[in-house]
Amino acid sequence: QKEVEQNSGPLSVPEGAIASLNCTYSDRGSQSFFWYRQYSGKSPELIMFIYSNGDKEDGRFTAQLNKASQYVSLLIRDSQPSDSATYLCAVNKFGQNFVFGPGTRLSVLP
């Protein structure tokens, strides 16, 4: 069983819609959770992090964490073509290395 799983996609959504990206993890002791965006040919950039159960909002982005279900998601409201990228989920347990998921490719269609 992979430690961090994501649907590889591509996930296609029309412009203006909500894009929902999902991530599951296997280590119940995981404590911090991160979403990165990676454009083709570029390095990953941090979008959001979340440590506690519930929702965390930042502009058009909302991260949702459910530790009981070992599930973290990223919602992108009012999706724009510029949001088209690969989204990486990362999980960390204090004192240990990060574990990255394989990424989900998002395509926002104009």
Token pair belonging to 97: 């290395």
Which of the ranges 17-25, 59-67, 69-77, 98-106 carries the binding residues for another protein, by CB under 8 A?
98-106
Choice from 29, 54, 95, 110 touching another protein (CB under 8 A): 95
The contact pattern for another protein, residues 40-69, with x = CB under 8 A and - = no contact, is --xxxxx--x--------------------
Cis geometry, peptide bond prior to residue 10 (ω within 30 degrees of 0): yes
Q: Are 69 and 52 in contact (CB under 8 A)?
A: no
Nearest to 23 by CA among 68, 77, 64: 64
* DSSP states of 60-76: TEEEEEETTTTEEEEEE
The residues in 4-33 that bind another protein, with binding defined as CB under 8 A, are 31-32
- Residues near another protein (CB under 8 A) are 31-32, 34, 42-46, 49, 88, 90, 92, 94-95, 97-98, 100-103
